[in-house]
Structure 1
Amino acid sequence: MRPQSKISSSWWDYTTLDPSIIRDAAKLTPADLLQLSRPGFTVTFYDSLEDFYLAEALEYIEAWRQATADNPVGICGPIGPTEQLPLVARLVNELEIDVSNAHFWGMDEWIGEDGKEVPLNHPLSFERADRKLCFNHIKSGFPESNLHFPAADTRRYIDSWNGTIRCAIMQGGQGDIKHWAFNDPPRREGQYLDSPPPAEEYRKLTTRVVDLHPVTLAQNARTSGGGNITMVPNQAVTVGPVETWQAEKVSIWQAGTHDNPLGQRLTAFMISNGIADSAVPMSLLADHPNVQFNYFTGGLGSCAVEMH
């Protein structure tokens, strides 16, 4: 039987791993991280935040430049990080990028107490942030029909993945609970009381409404709500592994503002070594054919004990 979580006995999370995995990850230096690259998994460093967020924004341009009427192409992007979004709009405007055949998928959205996706006037609305920070600033306009935001009724969103639109890149950040989008660890209950779902079973999940891990609630309160956890919904709708595996490339951006020094090392270590465990959802990307982890070197920190 796996260890009990040190965070919540009702959930799976990284504290239920074999302790040796955590010890080995904590020892990694920045130079060690770079050495984790292997075929299908690339680790890249950026020495300034300006370079980091510009590179992230350029992935939008890379995807959208491929789009034609006969070959519509899109990118799936996160809220968290967000600093790249105004840069995307500026690049589109200055380089006069034709976005008429470009597409964008939002990764996730909050679900309110009424069981529906939160409205645009909700202060934490991800769609609102995407529009306010990026799409409202594209001078040529971005086709409304080419914007795909997930909703509680997931059918239309899922259908957008199963048509003729090619997803060149799925971006993401990494949360404290080691998720991408809101693919959080599962609850520890029922048939998963003694061990979490097998990786191959978790990867069958598609876009869906999920209950959020307590760590995810606390993190979003910290990063987006001034610490006010009462304003953070308990559920969200999230893109799933099924859609993630339809993306030609998965690009994860870690500036050090979302996950901590251990987390940034742990998932890279697990992916590099092929350790896919649904208690650490990001580790499931070990089986994706093209994953890139992007780090701001100033945000890597250290796993050494430092009392404050």
Structure 2
Amino acid sequence: MDEWVENDRPVDFDHPLSFAKADMDLCFNRIDRKLRPRRENIHFPTGDLKAYSDSFDEARCLVMQGGQGEVKHWAFNDPPRRTGKWKNAPPSPAEYRKLGTRVVDLHPMTIIQNARTSGGGQVSLVPTSACTVGPLETWKSDRVSIWQAGCHDNPFGQRLTALMIAKKLPDASVPISLLADHPDVHFHYYRPGLGAVESGMH
């Protein structure tokens, strides 16, 4: 679904935060060779982004698996910058849903989140741009499955988006809420990570 971009190019496979490397090391390379998808059938949003986007029309995507970030993204579909025509209001849900696979500048909260969860706290290690699958491709998936582990978003945020999707309140300033309009969305929670919405110094 994503890959970091540095110097206008997707990062190499040996970058310590490479999504492609993580996917291969933590998933595909652990599957028995007889059952593993052929390498030519494993696609990452690197290189020709149009070809990556077109692959969603060449095969049926049964499930798109993702997560939710602190800034309420899925993949790297962050809230749009409030500049230009979106200075006073975010795009409509219908307008945001037209966005396809693309290179995006990441929200500062996304950079900090990834430094916390994957970069050992090293903010300077995290690229500030990435390639990401868009809503255009997401809506070509039969089902969207969001895993809430409790470490990528806080207790309030996890509940907020579930409420917005359940009540059908899509808003591009809370991008994952746009999934309210997708016909089949499943949220999966790690209960110990769900936490409690309460105030208190720690």
Name the TM-score class by shorter chain: over 0.9
Question: Is the aligned partner of 1:143 residue 2:23?
Answer: no
Which residue does the alignment assign to 1:120? Answer: 13
Which residue does the alignment assign to 2:127? Answer: 233
Which residue does the alignment assign to 1:300? Answer: 194
Structure 1 stretches (4+) deviating beyond 2 angstroms?
none
CA distance in 1, matches of 2:138, 2:54: 14
CA distance in 1, matches of 2:23, 2:98: 28
Which residue does the alignment assign to 1:210? Answer: 104
Which residue does the alignment assign to 1:188? Answer: 82
Q: What's the TM-score, normalizing by structure 2? A: 0.96
CA distance in 1, matches of 2:150, 2:26: 21
The letter for the 2-side match of 1:118 is: V
Question: Is the aligned partner of 1:247 residue 2:141?
Answer: yes
CA distance in 2, matches of 1:203, 1:142: 30
Q: What's the TM-score, normalizing by structure 1? A: 0.64
Which residue does the alignment assign to 2:26? Answer: 133
CA distance in 2, matches of 1:195, 1:269: 22
CA distance in 1, matches of 2:159, 2:30: 36
Which residue does the alignment assign to 2:94? Answer: 200
Q: Shift in Å at residue 210 of structure 1?
A: 0.3
Which residue does the alignment assign to 2:155? Answer: 261
Which residue does the alignment assign to 1:162? Answer: 57
CA distance in 2, matches of 1:109, 1:267: 24
Question: Is the aligned partner of 1:279 residue 2:173?
Answer: yes
CA distance in 2, matches of 1:138, 1:282: 30
CA distance in 2, matches of 1:152, 1:234: 18
CA distance in 2, matches of 1:253, 1:149: 20
Q: Shift in Å at residue 153 of structure 1?
A: 3.0
**Is contact 1:111–1:152 with CA below 8 Å preserved after alignment?**
no
- Percent of pairs identical after alignment? 58
Number of aligned residues: 200
CA distance in 1, matches of 2:24, 2:165: 33
SS at match of 1:293: strand
Residues 118-158 of structure 1 deviation map (CA, whole Å, 9 limit, x = unaligned): 00010000000011112122222430111011015302211
**Is contact 1:152–1:237 with CA below 8 Å preserved after alignment?**
no
Residues 174-219 of structure 1 deviation map (CA, whole Å, 9 limit, x = unaligned): 1100000000000011111111011100000000000000000000
Name the larger-Rg structure.
1
**Is contact 1:176–1:258 with CA below 8 Å preserved after alignment?**
yes
The letter for the 1-side match of 2:183 is: P
Gaps of 5+ in 2: none
